[in-house]
Structures are given as structure tokens and as C-alpha cells.
Amino acid sequence: MRIQDAVPKEGSQKRGRRLGRGISAGQGASCGKGMRGQKSRSGRSTRPGFEGGQNPLYRRLPKLKSFPMVNRKHFTIVNVSKLAALEPNTEVSLSSLMEAGIVTSNDGPLKILGDGELNVPLRVEAAGFSKSARSKIEAAGGSCSTIASSSEQAPPATATSSETE
């Protein structure tokens, strides 16, 4: 057997319909589309989503004003009132809060919010502070230091040609 002798299997390839080529072709005159009407005309019959004149679904539903942000940053949130239970002048970070049992799961970088009161001076390291939280920590005699979260850290700089020479 040679490549030129290879033929498709019998019945695997069906002939296309020859429309509008007389009564003997089986699809003459109206080409199997019925008599008259919008669906018998050439081109697309109706646009997608058309419901026959009824108010369509996309117009019945309300327009949504906002969509959730695709790459939203997730933070582990702790209020200042929770920090009041810690010992004075301690170093506060996400790992120390997990050891103390104040935070049970790591949902991302630590962010301190200002709900509640704080009378204990603390050294707090977090990825973010609200204005009220920062002012309450500093008013209690503590300090706030912002650390870059792992997602915000820049990749290491590559050596340029002037540095390698």
C-alpha cells in the first residue's frame, strides 16, 4: 500500500448539502428553511440573547456598580484593644502574636487597626497601620515600624554591565 492509495473509510465523509439547486437535490427553493420569516432570510437569524421581543435577561437584571478587586491584598488584622493584653515594652510581630494566641492563623501580612484603647508601651512591627492605631500606640509610649510584606519586596537587583567590569 502506498500513500496515494490511502482513502477515507466508507461513510466517514459526508457530502455537504447543495442548497437551492432544484427539486431533485432535496433542498431546492427554500433550502429547508420553511416558508417566510426572519429565520428564513440570509445571514444570522437573530442576535445572541434575543428573546423574541420580551425584555431580555441582561436588561432585567440590575447593573452592578462594583466588582471585587482581582488581586486584593489579604491582611491579618489585629485591633489595638487586643494588644493591650501584652506585657509592656515587648516586641510585637505576627510571629509573637501567634505564640501569644492573639492571632490563630496567618492570613497574610500583619495590619494593626485602631479599635479600642491601649495604655501599654509596645514596639510594633507590621506591614501596615491605620492612622488611629499609629497615634494610639505612639501616645501610649510605644513605637511603630512598618516592614515590607513578602509580596511587596522588590526582587534582587541584577548586576549591570558597569558593575561587572
- Strand partners of residue 78: 112
Asked if 92 contacts 127 with a C-beta cutoff of 8 angstroms, the reply is: no
Asked if 110 contacts 127 with a C-beta cutoff of 8 angstroms, the reply is: yes
Residue with the three cell numbers 477515507? 8
Q: What confidence score (pLDDT) does residue 69 get?
A: 84
Q: From CA 142, how far away is CA 35, in angstroms rounded?
A: 86
Q: From CA 58, how far away is CA 139, in angstroms rounded?
A: 54
* Residues 6 or more apart in contact with residue 157 via CB below 8 angstroms: none
Asked if 111 contacts 75 with a C-beta cutoff of 8 angstroms, the reply is: yes
Give the DSSP letter string of 15-78. PPP-TTS-GGGSS-TTTTS-SSSGGGSSS-SS-TT--TTS--HHHHSPPPS----TTPPP-EEE
Q: What confidence score (pLDDT) does residue 39 get?
A: 87
Q: What confidence score (pLDDT) does residue 72 get?
A: 87
Closest CA to 134 of 153, 109, 111, 102: 111
Domains of the chain: 76-146 (3.100.10.10)
Q: Print pLDDT tens along the chain (165 aa).
A: 899 999 999 999 998 888 889 888 888 888 889 899 988 998 888 999 999 999 999 999 999 888 888 888 899 999 999 999 899 999 999 999 999 999 998 889 999 999 999 999 999 999 999 999 999 999 999 999 999 866 544 444 455 555 555
Q: What confidence score (pLDDT) does residue 153 get?
A: 46
